[in-house]
A = this chain, B = another copy of it.
Amino acid sequence: MRTVEELSERFRDQGLRVTPQRQAIFGLLQGDASHPTVEALYERARSAMPTISLKTVYQTVHDLGAMHEVGLIHLGTGSVRVDPNVEHAHHHLICTACGRVRDVLVDVRDLRLAARDRRGFRVADVEVHFRGVCEDCAAPGVQTDDQTKHKE
């Protein structure tokens, strides 16, 4: 994703103001591969800026999403997750035990639909979800921090 400075620039260009809270969120998303929920982002933001409101985080994340500077992905985990990786096409591994999400590079070009199946449908985007159990959750006993425990 773009740097804090670049994002600030883009916000100004859109007529949006660059506030410390927005910049804080920009900063938190730098190099974050954890696909945090908005709540998780909010918690992290509060460490640095205790008065920031959840509302503000939602709004900023939406703004970023609207300008395609982050992806807002629904993975069936109940809440939207923020994906700062927009420059490289990729897909997701989802651990059904701990809820963690990881990026994977998958070549999707051979996933062409039969014309028979397409029937006039104009495909804009292909999304692949790999569901399963991650290494940590498969290992017996050795439990790591499971941020978003959930069953399915």
Chain B residues in 8 Å Cβ range of A73: 76
Q: Is the CB of A130 within 8 A of B110?
A: no
Judging by beta carbons under 8 Å apart, are B122 and A132 in contact? yes
B128 touches A126 (CB 8 A): yes
Residues of chain B within 8 A of A133, CB atoms compared: 121-122, 124
Q: Are A132 and B125 in contact (CB under 8 A)?
A: yes
Which parts of A17-58 form the interface with B (CB within 8 Å)?
Answer: none
Tally A residues with Cβ within 8 Å of B.
36
Residue A96 interfacial (CB < 8 Å): yes
Q: What B residues does A105 contact at CB under 8 A? A: 114, 117
A93 an interface residue at 8 Å Cβ cutoff? yes
Given contacts A102-B121, A124-B96, contact A111 B111 (CB under 8 A): yes
Contacts of A121 in B (CB 8 A): 93, 95, 102, 130, 132-135
Quick check: A131 and B127 within 8 Å, CB to CB?
yes
In the complex, chain B residues whose CB is within 8 Å of the CB of A134? 120-122
**Cross-chain pairs A/B with CB under 8 angstroms, 15 sampled:** A73-B76, A93-B113, A104-B113, A104-B117, A104-B118, A108-B111, A110-B110, A111-B128, A113-B130, A120-B135, A121-B132, A124-B132, A126-B130, A127-B130, A128-B128
Which 5 pairs across A and B sit closest by C-beta, in order of nearness? A120-B135, A74-B76, A123-B132, A124-B132, A127-B129
